């Protein structure tokens, strides 16, 4: 069955940006409906951290779904699966973050963090960083990217202010006693896999302490071993007041969480937050198994070691294709290939697809690689070979047909 067949049968138009209809997956591989095989270096935006159809996840889904999927009066009744997950999370969370609120997505977790921060502090202003991404709800879009982002959705959510990335001097100007919270990604994902400086984060923590505002660290993409530590905040030795997580937490199921200190949670009252599916037993059961697996198998160490190999290999590709690749960077298996121009991103992504490799096109002229955390050296080598082939084909296409701008010549 082709994409056109699917379109005709559904009576709709399928997006032509990488028009694939994926039928199944196993590990780091996926197959489309025609049987063509692809190496998946997207992990569904970093979600399928153990790969596709991992036996542990399938077993947890089967076992829990045979018991109960959704509790009666969810939010007022609880489950053993929820308790098990809370116990597992306590083993890996940064010290002091003891109270948990579950959600369906990272955007919902961030939305809840912003809402509760305003309620707890009695203040309205929120500061975030230029180039950030915290979700697609109205509140989280308003603290993502820059002030122009939320302007597309009227009326704008008031009380947002942006500060440049890694600029301590500007932080001094925007953080004051009117700020409820500052929300940051320690490594910006959609912003191009850009890492915050240690000195910047330390200064941010001191400013939040001085002005008694809350520091919210968004680990939706960086958490659960993606960067070579269980949480990226471990690299900084800075304690957040709130931490949000999602994506890899349940290995592919829609699930997320917000955690905070006991002191902050004491100001959250009945009715301040909730949700129909928050903490449902099925997702909790899977998340508990994923968390335990990552911890017991020390997956973070594997990711850190393979990430070093991968980054070194990408540097060699940069040297081989200087007219296409401007920079490479990353931490663990959160990797970025920065091109010379945004117009190169989709053509190169298409060449990767033709070579049998799926990558993640990103803003700021970046192609991201977010493979399964269980990726082997052999699988990485196979992906690198496909990436090299795609870059060579892209350059050849530029030389034949493409305007100079797309070839990186300004």
Clarify whether 247 is annotated catalytic. yes
Task: Spell out the residues 6+ positions from residue 340 whose beta carbon is closer than 8 angstroms to its own.
Answer: 323, 324, 326, 365, 408, 409, 410
Cβ(311)–Cβ(338) below 8 Å: no
The pairing of strands 242-245 and 187-188 is unpaired
Cβ(48)–Cβ(372) below 8 Å: yes
Cα separation, 406 vs 343, in Å, equals: 6
Cα separation, 384 vs 28, in Å, equals: 14
Clarify whether 133 is annotated catalytic. yes
Q: H or E segment at 188?
A: strand 187-188
Of the listed 41, 125, 241, 247, which one is catalytic?
247
Of the listed 38, 41, 102, 133, which one is catalytic?
133
Cα separation, 29 vs 357, in Å, equals: 9
Closest CA to 47 of 17, 20, 25: 25
Q: How far is CA 253 from CA 101, 104, 133, 240, 287, in A?
A: 17, 9, 21, 26, 9
Of the listed 38, 41, 111, 218, which one is catalytic?
218
DSSP string, 53-80: T-HHHHHHHHHHHHH-SS-TTBTTB--H
Closest CA to 163 of 179, 176, 174: 174
In our burial notation (b when 16+ CB lie closer than 10 A, e otherwise), range 347-384 reads: bbbbbbbebbbbbbbbebbbbbbbbbbbbeeebbebbb
Cβ(28)–Cβ(356) below 8 Å: no
What are 3's two structure tokens? 């994409």
Cα separation, 13 vs 224, in Å, equals: 36
Clarify whether 218 is annotated catalytic. yes
Which residue numbers are catalytic? 133, 218, 247
């Amino acid at each position: 069955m082709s994409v056109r067949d699917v379109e005709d049968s559904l009576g709709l138009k399928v997006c032509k940006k990488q028009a694939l209809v994926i039928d199944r997956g196993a590990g780091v591989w996926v197959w489309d409906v025609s049987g063509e095989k692809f190496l998946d270096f997207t992990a569904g935006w970093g979600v399928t951290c153990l790969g596709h159809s991992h036996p542990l996840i399938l077993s947890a889904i089967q076992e829990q779904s045979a018991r109960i999927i959704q509790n009666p009066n969810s939010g007022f009744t609880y489950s053993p699966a929820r308790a098990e997950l809370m116990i597992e999370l306590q083993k890996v969370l940064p010290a002091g973050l003891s109270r948990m609120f579950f959600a369906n997505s990272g955007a919902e977790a961030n939305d809840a963090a912003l809402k509760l921060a305003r309620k707890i502090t009695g203040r309205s202003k929120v500061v975030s960083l230029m180039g950030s991404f915290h979700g697609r709800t109205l509140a989280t879009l308003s603290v993502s990217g820059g002030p122009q982002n939320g302007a597309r959705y009227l009326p704008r959510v008031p009380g947002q202010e942006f500060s440049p990335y890694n600029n301590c001097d500007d932080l001094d100007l925007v953080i004051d006693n009117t700020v409820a919270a500052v929300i940051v990604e320690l490594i910006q994902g959609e912003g191009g896999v850009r890492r915050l400086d240690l000195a910047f984060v330390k200064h941010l923590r001191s400013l939040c302490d001085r002005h008694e505002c809350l520091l919210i660290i968004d680990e939706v993409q960086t958490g659960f071993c993606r960067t070579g530590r269980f949480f990226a905040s471990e690299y900084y030795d800075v304690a957040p007041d709130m931490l949000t997580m999602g994506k890899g937490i349940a290995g592919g199921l829609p699930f997320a969480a917000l955690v905070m200190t006991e002191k902050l949670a004491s100001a959250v009252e009945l009715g301040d937050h909730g949700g129909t599916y928050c903490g449902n037993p099925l997702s909790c059961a899977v998340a508990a198994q994923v968390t335990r697996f990552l911890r017991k198998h020390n997956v973070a160490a594997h990711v850190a070691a393979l990430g070093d190999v991968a980054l070194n290999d990408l540097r060699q590709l940069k040297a081989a294709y200087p007219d296409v690749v401007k920079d490479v960077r990353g931490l663990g298996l959160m990797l970025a290939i920065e091109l010379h121009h945004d117009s190169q991103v989709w053509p190169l992504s298409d060449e990767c697809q033709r070579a049998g490799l799926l990558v993640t096109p990103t803003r700021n002229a970046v192609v991201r690689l977010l493979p399964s955390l269980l990726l082997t050296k052999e699988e990485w080598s196979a992906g690198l070979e496909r990436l090299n082939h795609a870059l060579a084909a892209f350059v050849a296409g530029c030389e034949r047909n493409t305007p100079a701008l797309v070839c990186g010549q300004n």
